[in-house]
Amino acid sequence: MRLIECVPNLSEGRDLGVIDRITQVVSQTKGIKLLHRTSDYDHNRSVLTFTGQANALREAVLIMYEEVANLIDMRDHQGEHPRIGAVDVCPFVPLGATKMTECRDLAEEVASIVGPKHALPVYLYEEAALHEERRRLENVRRGQYEGLERKLENAAWHPDFGPGEFNPRLGATIIGARKILIAYNVNLRSQDLGVAKKIAAAIRESSGGLRNVKALGINMAHLDKVQVSMNLTDYQATPIHRVFELIRAEAARYGVEVAESELIGLAPADAFLSAAAHYLHLEDFSEQRTLEYLIHASG
Amino acid sequence: MRLIECVPNLSEGRDLGVIDRITQVVSQTKGIKLLHRTSDYDHNRSVLTFTGQANALREAVLIMYEEVANLIDMRDHQGEHPRIGAVDVCPFVPLGATKMTECRDLAEEVASIVGPKHALPVYLYEEAALHEERRRLENVRRGQYEGLERKLENAAWHPDFGPGEFNPRLGATIIGARKILIAYNVNLRSQDLGVAKKIAAAIRESSGGLRNVKALGINMAHLDKVQVSMNLTDYQATPIHRVFELIRAEAARYGVEVAESELIGLAPADAFLSAAAHYLHLEDFSEQRTLEYLIHASG
């Protein structure tokens, strides 16, 4: 069975009734297993995680776009997390032996349907990108929803699918194929957004920090804290514990402590097993030393 | 499927050809899945981990006792780890929805067969104990192989099954049923066995330390280190990271550093996921946030 994971990020994190209804149509699709859902008030954003084979996923995602078109209106949307549209990002991730090409094909097929159907500008990103400058999510999202109308006037940002006209209700959507990504946030015992922004700049790849780390400083007014909000795009090369310890060291420079960290959505177990191995100085340890792994392993 | 785990500890860790042969007869038994094997030179001890349903396990364990009777001779045995016989300990552990009573019944059945068959004194321990003072493994093993002949002369230590006479070749065997146990060792950058013994005494339950921790100081001459060798009998109540940090603090008192730690055999993933959550200050995190768990979960 060739499983694919789909992790859409939706621009609604406060009206949970809306997210309930969207989640319901997805999880009722035949062949779909909903693994997780999470909503954040300050981000005003929700993330669903579900798996299935390509055909089932295509059906579920098409129904999801339809529900979102009925229920989310970007003209009312405010939130701390950058976003360009109602279904802000919709990545497909190969699991197990599934090939990336299968996810790329699925992304392109979904894009070719939802663009015309919902009069929705669609950009393809990461492994599904058709243009090199659209590979990185942050490039596509730059300017956000508020800058989208002007962005669309630039020929370089004509969408890959769908119309070139601004859709005020839905904004744009970014569909793609990528490797497993860990969405991981560290909250700081501070209300100084400047500190969070400086730490984010210090640790992210784009400004001289760690490879495979994207980071933003974000105000979590709801918690009276600030946050370093991250995507870790290769947790094996750049493990979570190294990111966490670097944030701790940078924060100490400002007399700020780490309050807590959080995983958004799901992550592979070995991302955290390797953190345990680091802190406990464990030798010769891996996922393959856990009972669950061996019991589920074939053979 | 009601799975049971069996984790026999064998008094041979140097002649790996012997362990190969014993492992082979076990893993070739129908219905048995061998999950892991490990041997330690200094301990002169090997641990096998395999699973199956009760009937398959009974067959595998009976064949294992037969091979051990042919291949291991306690009269030649020296090692750092305490032991009372060739199959020193043989616990059955319920997995998933399996009941402890099923493991207790299996322990008693195996004991009733191997005792007479191999002229082998058998003690039942932990949840399978028939006498309260035989519940704790260390009580049964006290005096070790070298003290067994005299121990058997004491009516209070007449075996639960098998003859009351000393078997010089095989010693005794301790069979039982228990919850999941984590065998976890911490090596210290020191050759001072006294330090390891003092730390072991400081952290173990029996002398005022942490609940659910059994610990010994052991010389690892092979590594030029000393070791705190432990059994953690309830990793949920007394998590690994707390044990590790307490050892580190006690060792610092003697100017000694932790070199590395090691898991013997296998452990449940959540024992290490919870260590990661501790060190990373992770909120709202559990095994159920890992992809693997949710993909294998039923429903």
- Best mutation target among A181, A185, A264, A272 (most B Cβ atoms within 10 Å) is A272
Q: How confident is the model at residue A295 (pLDDT cuts 50, 70, 90)?
A: confident
Question: Would you call B260 an interface residue with chain A, using a CB distance cutoff of 8 Å?
Answer: yes
**DSSP β-ladder status, B182-188 and B225-232:** antiparallel
What is this structure's pTM? 0.84
Chain A residues close to B276, C-beta within 8 Å: 240-241, 272-273, 275-276, 279
Residue of B nearest to A4 (CA): B295
Q: Do B283 and A290 touch (CB under 8 A)?
A: no
Given the structure tokens 């663009």, which residue do they identify?
Answer: A115
pLDDT at B295: 84
What pLDDT is recorded for position A299?
A: 45
CB pair distance less than 8 Å for B292 and A260: no
Give the Cα separation of B185 and A108 in Å (integer): 52
Q: Are B213 and B238 in contact (CB under 8 A)?
A: yes
Does A2 touch chain B if contact means CB atoms closer than 8 Å? no
Pick from A1, A10, A4, A2: nearest CA to A170: A10
- Tell me what pLDDT residue A298 has: 59
If you measure CA to CA, which chain A residue comes closest to B294? A35
Chain A: give the shortest CA distance to residue B183, in Å. Answer: 12
Convert the pLDDT of each residue in A57-107 to its tens digit.
999 999 999 999 999 999 999 999 999 999 999 999 999 889 999 999 999
Q: Is the pLDDT of residue A226 over 50?
A: yes
Q: Is A296 a catalytic residue?
A: no
Of A263, A281, A294, the CB nearest to B261: A281
Which residues of B are less than 8 Å from A268 in CB distance?
A: 290-292
For residues B188 and B203, give the distance between their C-alpha atoms in angstroms, rounded to a whole number. 15
The tokens for B32 are 């048995």
- Mutate which of A48, A289, A293, A298 to test chain B, going by most B C-beta atoms within 10 A? A289
B25 and chain A in contact, CB less than 8 A: no
Q: Which residue of A has its CA nearest to B188?
A: A281
pLDDT of amino acid B293? 86
The average pLDDT across A139-155 equals 97
Binary contact (B241, A33; C-beta < 8 A):
no
Q: B276 and A272 in contact by Cβ < 8 A?
A: yes
Is there a contact between A35 and B259 if contact means CB atoms under 8 Å apart? Answer: no
Residues B203, B180: Cα–Cα separation, whole Å: 20
The yes-or-no verdict on residue A48 having pLDDT over 90 is yes
Q: Mutate one of B36, B182, B225, B280 to test the A interface: name it (highest A CB count within 10 A).
A: B280
Residues β-bridged to residue B176:
B91, B125
- Core vs surface per residue B65-86: b (16+ CB within 10 A) or e: bebbbebbebeebebbbbbbbb
Residue A9 neighbours by CB distance under 10 Å:
22
pLDDT average per 10 residues of sequence, chain B (299 residues)? 93 97 97 94 95 97 98 95 97 94 98 98 98 96 97 97 97 97 97 98 96 96 94 96 97 97 93 97 93 77
Token look-up 């360009």 returns: A84
Residue B299 confidence (pLDDT) = 45
Q: Return residue ranges of chain A for CATH 3.30.990.10.
A: 4-177
Cβ distance of A269 and B293 shorter than 8 Å: yes
Residues 103-142 of A with CB under 8 A from B: none
Residue pair A230/A242 in contact (Cβ under 8 Å)? The answer is no
Residue A244 touches chain B, beta carbons under 8 Å: yes
- Which residue shows structure tokens 């432990």? B230
Contacts 24+ apart (CB under 8 A), B248-251: B250/B198, B250/B199, B250/B202, B250/B203, B251/B188, B251/B195, B251/B199
C-beta atoms of A262 and B244 within 8 A:
no
Contact partners, residue A260, CB within 8 Å, separation at least 6:
A186, A187, B281, B282, B283
On whether any CB of chain B is under 8 Å from the CB of A223, the answer is: no
In chain A, residues with a C-beta closer than 8 Å to the C-beta of B223 are none
φ/ψ of residue B116, rounded to 5: -65, -40
* Tokens at B29, concatenated: 């038994």
- Identify whether the C-beta of residue A186 lies closer than 8 Å to the C-beta of residue A227: yes
**Which residues belong to CATH 3.30.70.670 in chain A?**
182-267
Whether chain B has a CB inside 8 Å of the CB on A35: the answer is yes
Beta bridge partners of B183: B231, B264
What's domain B4-177's architecture? 2-Layer Sandwich (3.30)
Which tokens is A50 given? 């579900």
Contact B239, A238 (CB under 8 A): no
Q: Centre a 10 Å sphere on the Cβ of residue A49 and count the other Cβ atoms it contains.
A: 21
What local confidence, expressed as pLDDT, does residue A265 receive? 87
Q: Which of A81, A131, A158, A296 is catalytic?
A: A81
pLDDT computed for residue B298 by the predictor: 59
Distance from CA of A220 to the nearest CA of B (A): 16
Residues B77 and B144: beta-carbon distance below 8 Å: no
Taking only residues 172 to 201 of chain B, the set having a beta carbon closer than 8 angstroms to any beta carbon of chain A reads: 180
| Cα B125 to chain centroid, rounded | 12
Q: Minimal Cα distance from B3: which residue of A?
A: A295
Cα distance between residue A278 and residue A270, in whole Å: 12
Q: What's the CA angle centered on A88, arms A83 and A94, to 5 degrees?
A: 130
Digit-coded pLDDT (tens) for A111-146: 999 999 999 999 999 999 999 999 999 999 999 999
| C-alpha distance from residue A59 to each of A104, A123, B224 (Å) | 16, 20, 62
Interface probe, candidates B33, B279, B296, B298, chain A, greatest A C-beta count within 10 A:
B279
Q: Are the C-beta atoms of residues B169 and B75 closer than 8 Å to each other?
A: yes
Q: Which residue has the tokens 């802190």?
A: A279
User: CA dist A25 to A59, A62, A120, B110, Å?
Assistant: 10, 10, 20, 53
Domain spanning A182-267: CATH 3.30.70.670: yes
Write out chain B in H/E/C secondary structure. Answer: CCCEEECCEECCCCCHHHHHHHHHHHHCCCCCEEEEEEEECCCCEEEEEEEECHHHHHHHHHHHHHHHHHHCCHHHCCCCCCCCECEEEEEEEECCCCCHHHHHHHHHHHHHHHHHHCCCCEEEEECCCCCHHHCCHHHHHCCHHHHHHHHHHCHHHCCCECCCCCCCCCECEEEEECCCCEEEEEEECCCCHHHHHHHHHHHCHHHCCCCCEEEEEEEEHHHCEEEEEEEECCCCCCCHHHHHHHHHHHHHCCCCCEEEEEEECCECHHHHHHHHHHHCCECCCCHHHEHHHHHHCCC
Inform me whether the C-beta atom of residue B63 falls under 8 Å from chain A C-beta atoms: no
